[in-house]
A = this chain, B = another copy of it.
Amino acid sequence: MPSDQRRIQPRKQPRQVRAELTRQRILTAAAHVFGEHGYAAGTTNRIAERAGISIGSLYQYFPNKDAILAELLVRHLDDGAAIAERVQREELPGPIEEIFRLFVRGAIESHLDEPRLLRVLLEQAPKSTDVLEKVELLKKNLVAYMRQLLDDHPEVRVADTETAARLIVTTAELVIHQLVADHEPVDTGKLENELVAMLTRYVRG
């Protein structure tokens, strides 16, 4: 007998084209609404209204409100993981500045559309065990990779590479989230340059 996980799985797997289309509409609308109103004020009825469907349809594809936000978050995390892997797969004999630049640029790019949503995702996302683990895992991987990079690269001159790696990953993540979604957004080119400069000079000592 299958375990009781009905509350997380969607009610129906879409089998017709219009169904998949409805699903997409819901997610797109949810991204907008959550980004605009935050999680609490982003009501399911508002999402359905924006998507141009009825509230009933929404609950045919998502068992509850959390599941919608969870799926948006998972998508973003998968994007981030893909970017990180891509960077890690490339050859990395060049100066550490170039490696930092690849990371920072990738991170900035993945935050350009829907910047407000992403802050909501990470700041107000319900602390449901499931997705939070995924967040932690991705971050731990990033920190671990960063630490190895610091350990191996000849240019690097910091003593505590563990703390340094954590600081670097945290800084890049937070600053990008904040400044991209800011009221008076910075020029992303400048942001990239300055952030890369800060990180590079830091590890060079």
| A interface residues with partner B (beta carbon < 8 Å) | 38-40, 119, 123-124, 136, 158, 160, 163-164, 166-167, 170-171, 174-175, 178-179, 183, 186, 190-191, 194-195, 197-199, 201-202, 204-205
Contacts and interface: CB of A to CB of B under 8 A. Distances in A.
A145 to B, nearest CB: 18
A167 B175 contact: yes
A171 B197 CA distance: 14
Report copies per complex.
2
Contacts of A171: 171, 174-175, 198
A108 to B, nearest CB: 13
Contacts of A201: 201-202, 204-205
Contacts of A38: 124
A164 B194 contact: yes
